[in-house]
Amino acid sequence: MSLESQNVTDYPNTNTIFMVWKLNDVPQLKDVFQELCALVLNLNNSVFNRFPGSRASCVMGIGFEAWKKLSLPTPMPKELANFEEIIGIKHTAVSTPGDLHFHLRADNQSVIFDMGIEISKLLSSVAESILEIHGFKYWDARSILGFVDGTENPHGEDRDYFAKIGNEDSQYQGGSYLFVQKYLHNMDAWKSLSTEDQEKVIGRSKENDIEMSDEVKPSNSHIALANVEGENGEELKIVRDNMPFGNPSKNEFGTYFISYASTFTTTKKMLTHMFIGDPPGNYDRILDFSTAVTGTLFFVPTRNMLDEFSG
């Protein structure tokens, strides 16, 4: 039987809902989880048939504690664990709880709204919603900071290579490590910078999204620290699907960072560079304006595994 991954390599969409749920220890939990796995498969099949051009999908991730609580297969995915916070001299990549993560996306907001309703109806008896964020495409794929986001994303076959587990963990081949962070931006402080100074923080031009040369780009710019290499200088990448969100009346503006990776080691190395610095102390300057208020690691099983979990 061929492996069929969930839609972890789909390109960012126009509308997104992110949901994080905490499971309660109740007798009917495992039965509801079986129904949930079947529902996720059904939702994806349904929207593909009904709205083939909407690029709609529902991706479910499972956290470390949930994997144990639900008695899912052992040994579990090699790098699935509770995310451990990364503490730098000034900023911290916090660790926050989460048992299930849902990434709903579509061109049509109505589609993901209805998917969210169905998931919530099923889970409400056994779980608590601890985070829900409605993201949207901002102009030409820019963050609310005004810069294009995701330029370094891999394309084509590279998306599969960097996002999906290979035969190094054959039991979970085709799965993916999902890491998420909710960032809040200090827009007043950000807007106090000149465009030139903002560009130095990011490492790219604001208008045309052109990367600065290595001679000009500051060593603590976001681009300099978020791009990482392996021990032999090979390029390491993750597939990002970040989305802006905001509540203007509450002066709340942010970015929901979401990444899919074949190994969490790559994501962790990127986070370490950002928060601790490379060398230590030379942390990512963007963190002076963007604060991570969540941080959770999940595993995204294949559709084949969801089918098995559904009983």
Strand pairing partners for 260? 178, 239
Q: List b or e across 175-199, with b for residues whose CB sees 16 or more CB atoms inside 10 angstroms.
A: bbbbbbbbbbbebeebeeeeeeebb
Contact 222, 285 (CB under 8 A): yes
- Segment 105-119 shows an average pLDDT of 96
Q: Is residue 8's pLDDT more than 90?
A: yes
Mean pLDDT score of the chain? 96
Residue that is written with structure tokens 């919530």 in the block: 120
Residue 286 CA from chain centroid, whole number: 18
Strand pairing partners for 100? 21, 62
- Specify the pLDDT at position 2: 66
Contact 132, 256 (CB under 8 A): no
Percent of the chain having pLDDT more than 70?
Answer: 99
Rg, the chain, Cα only: 19
pLDDT band for position 3 (cuts 50, 70, 90): confident
CA-to-CA dists, residue 54 to 6, 14, 17, 108, 112, angstroms? 17, 10, 15, 6, 10
Of the chain, the end-to-end C-alpha distance in Å amounts to 17
> Hey, how many other C-beta atoms are within 10 angstroms of the C-beta on 282?
17
pLDDT per residue as tens digits for the range 114-141:
999 999 999 999 999 999 999 999 999 9
Q: Is residue 195's pLDDT more than 60?
A: yes
- Specify the pLDDT at position 53: 87
- Segment 257-262 shows an average pLDDT of 98
User: Cα–Cα distance between 307 and 311 in angstroms, integer?
Assistant: 7
- Segment 221-248 shows an average pLDDT of 95
Catalytic residues: 149
Q: Which of 214-221's residues contact partners 24+ apart within 8 Å by CB, and which partners?
A: 218/285, 219/282, 220/277, 220/282, 220/283, 220/284, 220/285, 221/284, 221/285
Give the residue extent of every domain in the chain.
15-309
User: Cα–Cα distance between 25 and 48 in angstroms, integer?
Assistant: 34
pLDDT per residue as tens digits for the range 167-180:
999 999 999 999 99
pLDDT per residue as tens digits for the range 44-75:
999 999 998 899 999 999 999 999 999 999 99
Tokens of 219: 């060593």
pLDDT per residue as tens digits for the range 84-94:
999 999 999 99
pLDDT per residue as tens digits for the range 277-309:
999 999 999 999 999 999 999 999 999 999 999
User: Count H helices, E strands: the chain?
Assistant: 9, 14
- Specify the pLDDT at position 239: 98
Instruction: Give the predicted TM-score (pTM) of the model.
Output: 0.97
Q: Where are the alpha helices (DSSP H) in the chain?
A: 29-50, 64-69, 109-123, 157-163, 187-191, 195-202, 222-226, 264-275, 303-309
- Segment 193-214 shows an average pLDDT of 97
- Three-class SS of residue 106? strand
Q: Is residue 231's pLDDT more than 90?
A: no
- Segment 218-231 shows an average pLDDT of 95
Percent of the chain having pLDDT more than 90?
Answer: 95
pLDDT band for position 232 (cuts 50, 70, 90): confident
Residue that is written with structure tokens 């509770």 in the block: 82
